[in-house]
Amino acid sequence: MDLKDKTILITGSTDGVGRVVAQKLGAAGARILVHGRDAARGKAAVGEIEAAGGKAEFFAADLASLAEVRRLAEAVREKTGRLDILINNAGIGTAGEGAKRQVSADGYELRFAVNYLAGFLLTSELLPLLKASAPARIVNVASAGQQAIDFGDVMLTHGYSGVRAYCQSKLAQILFTVDLAEQLKGSGVTVNALHPASYMNTTMVRQAGVTPWSSVETGADAIVNLATSSALEGRSGLYFDGLRESRADAQAYDAKARQQLRSLSLDLVGQARSKSKEQHS
């Protein structure tokens, strides 16, 4: 894919694999919309891309707040008339052994909120822009760590573990990918998910107390492949393990589970919006 004049939003691109992806796609000629929580790191990431001759802008947002996700989408719409590629990369890890259950600004289990629900909402908000820019692509950075969603206790109020929370949130991303691919048929917008690489040398992996096995460059190459490979033109609803097409947990291919997750997600983002409006009225 020729990336000249293409606009790409990469969430979580001030650190780790997202930062390397931003550098690679910026060097290939795309205009990069860098996202993160920290303005200083954002400025540094933009500086690196520009120093290499690329174009970049920084957008600050904390994806633990759905109101901030909406503001991010609004800021992107104000800044650009097109969006060719959206890479939902931002995420938080397992936090290691003995992690305590945490909640988002909206009161939702934190890993489900940041790793999945924020991307669900951001994608929904930016779909009109992606469709107007078609052919366009959405890439969801998931994981090989997957655990079936327990619809009786999605927020993991019983028997919480950080690993379970992380694995559930990552599988939710894949269910969303398969579900959205069906909705987007004929629109010129494709959506695929991947596990970039196992235990990359990132802050997230080190915080979990794990010795890294693979490099962020390996993971970045896998993400760039989904975002730009001509072999993936028009192909959608797929899950990749690195550079290879693979199969996710069986729940991803269960139409009833995907419909359940979609209904729940619409309900959760709707509730958060209503609460936010009440607080500001």
> CA 148, 153, 158, 163 torsion: positive or negative?
positive
Q: Are 64 and 110 in contact (CB under 8 A)?
A: yes
What beta strand segments (E) does 14-111 contain?
A: 31-36, 55-60, 85-88
Can you list the pairs that 104-108 forms with residues at least 24 positions away whose Cβ atoms lie under 8 Å? 104/64, 104/65, 104/66, 105/62, 105/64, 105/65, 105/66, 105/67, 105/68, 106/65, 106/66, 106/268, 106/271, 106/272, 106/275, 108/155, 108/268, 108/272
Choosing from 108, 166, 199, 253, the catalytic residue is 166
Q: How far apart are CA 17 and CA 8, in angstroms?
A: 15
Q: Are 49 and 34 in contact (CB under 8 A)?
A: yes
Q: Are 144 and 171 in contact (CB under 8 A)?
A: no
Strand 189-195 relative to strand 7-10, pairing: unpaired
Bond into 135 cis (ω within 30): yes
Closest CA to 60 of 52, 69, 51: 69
Beta partners for residue 14, in sequence order = none
Catalytic annotation on 166?
A: yes
| Element containing residue 137 per DSSP (H, E) | strand 136-141
List the catalytic residues.
Answer: 166
